[in-house]
Amino acid sequence: ASILLLHGPNLNLLGTREPGVYGSNTLDDINHALQQQAAAAGHRLDCLQSNAEYQLIERIHAARNDETAFIIINPAAFTHTSVALRDALLAVSIPFIEVHLSNVYKREPFRHHSYFSDIAVGVICGLGASGYRLALDAAIEHVNNP
């Protein structure tokens, strides 16, 4: 099946951006490892990072017509602001897992609210890049046993 991995704003800076909070892996490192993990399980992983809300929304809309079976998304700062991205995920009704590298509950109170968690299949936060690996494991299990 096709699985879509979406990364929100500023995650293109991963590896150099506050490494104490977000780790030293780059986004390319993470995407490549996950693409191998997906391929080994007989699935395809399509990755997109964007700093623009509308591009993420357009990609979610396209997922309705390209057989995307599951979405893994780190909405980054849009987690705490974007009703529009939430509505896009509701509109396509493709199941998704929300991932955060950092433990948002250890951080500023404005990071404690997510517009996604109550409509996600599950949420992983605070485990760094491993969180994506675990999310992909769960996504693969989900698409193998719908």
Q: What is the DSSP letter of 59?
A: H
Q: What is the DSSP letter of 39?
A: H
When asked if residue 34 is in the footprint of ligand DQA (CB under 6 A), the reply is no
When asked if residue 76 is in the footprint of ligand DQA (CB under 6 A), the reply is yes
CA–CA separation, 129 and 131 (whole Å): 5
Ligand-binding site membership of 102 (annotated): yes
54 a catalytic residue: no
Ligand-binding site membership of 87 (annotated): yes
Cβ contacts of residue 131 below 8 Å, gap of 6+? 99, 100, 101, 124, 125
Would you say the C-alpha torsion 123, 84, 90, 33 has a positive or negative sign? negative
When asked if residue 45 is in the footprint of ligand DQA (CB under 6 A), the reply is no
When asked if residue 31 is in the footprint of ligand DQA (CB under 6 A), the reply is no
Q: How far is the CB of 121 from ligand DQA (least distance, A)?
A: 17
Applying CB under 6 A, which residues contact ligand DQA? 10, 74, 76-77, 79, 100-102, 104, 111
Residue stretches of the annotated binding site for substrate: 74, 80, 87, 101-102, 111
